[in-house]
Copies of this chain bind each other. A is one copy, B any other.
């Protein structure tokens, strides 16, 4: 799921003007868009609708140099982060690795926080959908497997990105946007389970999804417990059992009690 294609190709080393940086976009989608709950960019990077620092009214052109530069720069951020962590991350190192001029990076992303925020925004710019296995527990387990894979990947890019988001308000907001988007996409898992009769009507999706996934982040990121192959299934099963027993009644049902 996480690309190992680091560092990015160095074949193109353009230097842009500010107008370049603001005026081009790349619309095509890449095939490998299976993403979990976290930033997992790589060769499939896609531009966000409005890159940081872009002029609001700027004309858009599909594809081109700006999108290519963005991909190179954001791939370089991930490679630097995976190798050196946040403390090794500088706009200069990113520019050098991406093969672009340092003023381009500075002008377009501002600082390391801006770079991290754009990595996270770009990671959310895909068409990832949660797994559909036919059962709530199966869907949650498959989701957790994706999360465990991402959090234990080497180099530890996703873990480093989450850790880095503690260091920058911009990155923290982008990290939160990405998670909110992922949880919103996962609501269909709960809707389907209600429709199948596995869950009480009005089951609230978000707390259920957090209950199912939080133990993964807690053990792998906070407690740094070695990965346990039983963890994704166990957390999924616990959340599914709790939900079936009515642990997440939702606002309407809760008000009625």
Contacts and interface: CB of A to CB of B under 8 A. Distances in A.
Contacts of A163: 166-167
Contact of A214 (B162, B215, B244, B246): B215
Interface string A195-210: 0000000000001001
A87 B214 CA distance: 27
B241 A245 contact: yes
Nearest to A246: B241
Number of copies: 2
Contact of A223 (B176, B224, B235, B246): B176
Q: What is the predominant secondary structure among interface residues of chain A facing chain B?
A: helix
A215 B207 contact: yes
A237 interface: yes
A102 interface: no
Interface in A185-235: 207, 210-211, 213-215, 217-219, 221-224, 234-235
A245 B137 CA distance: 14
Interface in A157-174: 162-163, 166-167, 172
A239 B246 CA distance: 12
A242 interface: yes
Contact of A217 (B179, B211, B214, B245): B214
A247 interface: yes
Interface string A64-94: 0000000000000000000000110000000
Interface of A: 86-87, 162-163, 166-167, 172, 175-176, 179-180, 207, 210-211, 213-215, 217-219, 221-224, 234-235, 237-239, 241-248
